[in-house]
């Protein structure tokens, strides 16, 4: 029988875990499962050059802050290579690396990139989650465990099914035990730090930067007014407002016959679809907020 006082004596553990995996390894599904709630939309594709906190898992005596990094993959595109470099640097910063591999369909090219990185590190441990075990016969799974255990000295190898939640609690317990002692970083009711809608708003703002002159971008703020996903079609509907300080700026952003706004929307939608890995319906509006950048109240209202 467990004494209730044990939990008070057990030190609290907390830390950052970088999630490394191929783009199709089931990273987002596992992340949502570990956190216990869907964080709007997650993507395994290369996204932004910023490392962002994707999710916070709370458990008895621990808190794990997951760094969502882009799917590690080989690419000929310099931009994608740079994004993978950023992903790799996040691996260096975390207290623990969670490697997610697809047990049903291994991706040798991505796996070798990840292993190369792990073998060049010193210090912090790594845990392997072999995902999609519901799609693999046991003999094949045992062979994979054997193969992976020879490639790296993982602190733990945990076969899981993110889709069905199989062995996910065991995975979290294993990771929590490897975290350093320390207080939680976030309140218990917080499960994410930077939502997708923030990144979407930044992508739209970036297109305003790229499409207009020097004066316009610094007078621009973007707010997301609607962000919803159609469960049947998977299409994400986004309504966003571009806020400017003067009517003349509004005219520039809308452009002749609305062409400039259309161009901004088309370019932003392409990036957002890449980020969310689904089709997007994007509607943009332009609003004048007189001198908002000089008004603390307006700045707060616009989320800055």
Q: Is residue 208 located within the same domain as residue 161? A: no
| Distance, CA of 150 to CA of 235 (rounded, Å) | 42
Measuring CA to CA, which residue among 160, 87, 175, 84 is closest to residue 129? 160
| Distance, CA of 261 to CA of 251 (rounded, Å) | 10
Mention every residue, 6+ apart, whose C-beta is less than 8 A from residue 102: 22, 24, 25, 26, 131, 132
Q: Is residue 137 located within the same domain as residue 218? A: no
pLDDT of 87? 60
Q: Is residue 94 part of a domain?
A: yes
| Distance, CA of 103 to CA of 303 (rounded, Å) | 42
Given a cut of 70, is residue 86 above it in pLDDT? no
pLDDT of 172? 96
Strands laid side by side in the 156-159 sheet: 52-59, 62-68, 13-21, 96-102, 126-131, 156-159
pLDDT, tens only, 246-302? 999 999 999 999 999 999 999 999 988 877 888 999 999 999 988 887 777 877 777
Mention every residue, 6+ apart, whose C-beta is less than 8 A from residue 153: none
Mention every residue, 6+ apart, whose C-beta is less than 8 A from residue 34: 55, 57, 64, 66, 168, 171, 172
Last residue of a domain, one of 149, 178, 207: 178
pLDDT of 183? 94
Residue-number span of the structural domain to which 32 is assigned = 5-178
pLDDT class of 67 with cuts at 50, 70, 90: confident
Q: Is residue 134 located within the same domain as residue 71? A: yes
Structure tokens at 53: 């906190």
Residue reference for tokens 């975290």: 179
Give the helix, strand, coil percentages of the chain, each rounded to 5: 40, 25, 35
Q: Is residue 143 located within the same domain as residue 24? A: yes
pLDDT of 160? 95
Phi, psi of 129 (to 5 degrees): -105, 110
Given a cut of 70, is residue 41 above it in pLDDT? no
Q: Is residue 11 located within the same domain as residue 148? A: yes
Q: Is residue 201 part of a domain?
A: yes
Q: Is residue 47 part of a domain?
A: yes
pLDDT of 40? 34
| Distance, CA of 225 to CA of 292 (rounded, Å) | 18
DSSP secondary-structure letter at 105? Answer: S
Q: Is residue 65 located within the same domain as residue 153? A: yes
Over residues 97-116, the mean pLDDT reads 87
pLDDT of 115? 84
Last residue of a domain, one of 146, 178, 210: 178
pLDDT class of 304 with cuts at 50, 70, 90: low
Q: Is residue 209 located within the same domain as residue 171? A: no
pLDDT of 209? 81
pTM of this structure: 0.61
Q: Is residue 222 part of a domain?
A: yes
Q: Is residue 33 located within the same domain as residue 164? A: yes
- The CATH number linked to 52 is 3.40.50.300
Asked if 115 contacts 151 with a C-beta cutoff of 8 angstroms, the reply is yes
Distinct helix (H) and strand (E) counts, the chain: 10, 9
- Our count of domains for the chain comes to 2
Structure tokens at 189: 């009711």
Q: Is residue 173 located within the same domain as residue 255? A: no
């Amino acid at each position: 029988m467990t004494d209730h006082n044990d939990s008070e004596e057990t030190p609290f553990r907390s830390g950052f875990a970088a999630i490394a995996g191929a783009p199709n390894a089931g990273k987002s599904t596992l992340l949502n499962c570990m956190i216990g709630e869907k964080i709007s939309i997650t993507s395994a594709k290369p996204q932004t050059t910023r490392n962002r906190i994707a999710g916070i898992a709370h458990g008895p005596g621990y808190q794990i802050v997951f760094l969502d990094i882009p799917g590690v993959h080989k690419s000929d595109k310099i931009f994608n290579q740079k994004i993978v470099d950023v992903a790799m640097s996040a691996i260096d910063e975390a207290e623990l690396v969670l490697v997610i591999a697809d047990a049903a369909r291994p991706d040798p090219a991505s796996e070798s990139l990840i292993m190369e990185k792990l073998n060049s590190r010193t210090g912090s441990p790594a845990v392997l989650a072999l995902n999609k075990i519901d799609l693999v016969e046991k003999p094949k799974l045992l062979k994979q465990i054997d193969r992976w255990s020879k490639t790296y000295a993982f602190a733990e190898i945990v076969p899981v099914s993110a889709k069905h939640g199989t062995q996910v609690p065991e995975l979290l317990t294993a990771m929590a035990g490897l975290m350093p002692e320390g207080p939680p970083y976030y309140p218990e009711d917080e499960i994410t730090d930077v939502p997708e809608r923030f990144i979407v708003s930044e992508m739209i703002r970036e297109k305003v930067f790229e499409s207009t002159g020097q004066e316009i971008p610094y007078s621009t703020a973007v707010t997301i007014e609607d962000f919803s996903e159609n469960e049947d079609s998977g299409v994400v509907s986004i309504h966003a407002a571009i806020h400017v300080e003067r009517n003349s700026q509004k005219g520039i952003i809308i452009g002749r016959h609305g062409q400039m706004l259309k161009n901004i929307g088309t370019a932003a939608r392409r990036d957002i679809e890449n980020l969310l890995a689904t089709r997007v319906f994007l509607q943009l509006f332009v609003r004048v907020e007189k001198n908002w950048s000089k008004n603390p109240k307006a700045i707060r209202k616009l989320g800055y």
